[in-house]
Structure 1
Amino acid sequence: MMSDNKLKKNSSCFVKARRGRPPQMCLAAREAAILRATAQLLLEIPFDDVTMSLVARTAGMSKRTVYEIFKSREDLLVRAVINLARTIFLPLKAEDAKRPLSERLSLLLRFNAPSGEDMNKLELLRSVIAKAQTYPVLAHELYTSGRGTLVGFVRAELESAIASGEISLPQGDIDMAVDILLDMALENPLTRLLQPNAQQPSDLEVERRREFAIAMFLRGIAP
């Protein structure tokens, strides 16, 4: 979701029309509306069905307008997927920076899943993986904006904890330690991709796995 500042900015981003005509959205507002419509469609219908024409209709614009802002379908999908992926894991708030490392990691490793059916989200991931050769930029951006962003957040906290003496970890092992922690704390999506009818873990099970993984990890690198 957009912040209050962005909402205020977009709400004032209109060009006053002549009498009898509706107000015209500025470029930034049109771009934001198109990206919202694309993200909504990606979470509701199959990947291949998200066409420029359908995006235009959903956003209440012409197909020509969409192409004026996004040069191709791939360009639009990449931008929309980046926006979605960036909402899944969030950085720490300033007031949380002084918490113990275990609490900081717990906050970072929580999912902030976009709205929509879980099965649709899984199918979006399946589609991007299947089309990684066709749309390598899309696949790369989904990874770097999702898990890649989380890796950066967790790495920064481990480096801070090393500097303060909270943990003992050789500098050269930080990247490996981050990967191990993420693999321990987060469900491997491959399981559900290969077994789509498998029962989804409950919120309590997700939380228990996360906290158990963090506790095990920190015991292994205690000073």
Structure 2
Amino acid sequence: MGLLGKLSFKDQAFRLREDAILDATTQTLTSKGFDLMTMDDVANLVGISKPSLYKHFKSKDDLVGAAMVRLIDGALAFLDDLDKTLSPIEKLRALLEWALRVRLEGGMPFLPSTSPQVRAMLLKNLTYIARVLKLNGQVEGFIKAAQKSGELNTNLPVQVILFSYYSRTCDPAVEFLQLYSKLSKDEIVERMLQICFEGMGKQ
């Protein structure tokens, strides 16, 4: 029995509405950005009143923080479900593929570093910080192992690879390819993976 099955009907309805709110938050962040997003925008998109929205989240900061925590939780859950026999580089590739597919479905609005206000807000969110540290620890472990096996450049510091890797999840090339190329979503994902792990040099 899943988690929802263990909850009362009222609690299930509350949880489902909260998921809808976070979906709407991500969608609004993607289309308008943090600065222009309002609680009214989210409430209207979900089809609830603003007082109802405040029963779930007390502020825009709380709302965006919860959306980002849910995103990191999704990445951590994906890693937990990965085939343990995969090599470190295969795990890195699989996680980036997951992130790109989430992005193409509108589920990944931006990197926090693109907004100083969001970055400052998230640094105060202890739940978010804990999740990020856990994710970073796993990804750094994959990077170090891949360097040790010779699959990644050992001349590059781990943090350079780590942050470059994260930046691929929000590369604006994805939007350009969606708008102006004839590539399918699957082809976009494959090409972005190719750029990340193989580069643009002649093979």
TM-score, structure 1 length as denominator? Answer: 0.55
Match runs of 1:124-139 below 5 Å: 124-125=109-110, 129-130=114-115, 132-133=116-117, 136-138=120-122
Report the counterpart of residue 79 of structure 2 in structure 1. 91
> Which structure has the highest helix share of the two?
2
Q: Distance in 2 between matches of 1:147 and 1:206?
A: 23
Q: Structure 2 residue aligned with 1:151, among 117, 123, 136?
A: 136
Residue type matched to 2:138 in 1?
A: F
Deviation at 1:145, TM superposition (A): 8.4
Match runs of 1:10-29 below 5 Å: 13-15=8-10, 26-29=13-16
Q: Distance in 2 between matches of 1:166 and 1:45?
A: 43
Report the counterpart of residue 212 of structure 1 in structure 2. 198
Paired residues of 2:144 and 2:158 also in contact (CA < 8 A): no
Greater RCO, 1 or 2 (C-alpha within 8 Å, sep 6+): 2
Q: Distance in 2 between matches of 1:148 and 1:78?
A: 15
Change (3 A) 1:108 1:151: same
Paired residues of 1:13 and 1:29 also in contact (CA < 8 A): no
Report the 3-state secondary structure (helix = DSSP H, G, I; strand = E; otherwise coil) of the residue aligned with 2:79: coil
Q: Distance in 2 between matches of 1:26 and 1:133?
A: 32
Q: CA RMSD of the aligned region, Å?
A: 4.9
Paired residues of 2:103 and 2:169 also in contact (CA < 8 A): no
TM-score, structure 2 length as denominator? Answer: 0.59
Report the 3-state secondary structure (helix = DSSP H, G, I; strand = E; otherwise coil) of the residue aligned with 1:179: helix
Structure 2: gaps spanning 5 or more residues: none
Report the counterpart of residue 26 of structure 2 in structure 1. 39
Computing the radius of gyration from Cα coordinates, the structure with the larger value is 1
Q: Distance in 2 between matches of 1:188 and 1:28?
A: 28
Report the counterpart of residue 177 of structure 1 in structure 2. 158
**What is the aligned length?**
188
- Quick one: percent identity of the two aligned structures? 24
Paired residues of 1:14 and 1:25 also in contact (CA < 8 A): yes
Change (3 A) 1:125 1:98: closer
Change (3 A) 1:160 1:97: farther
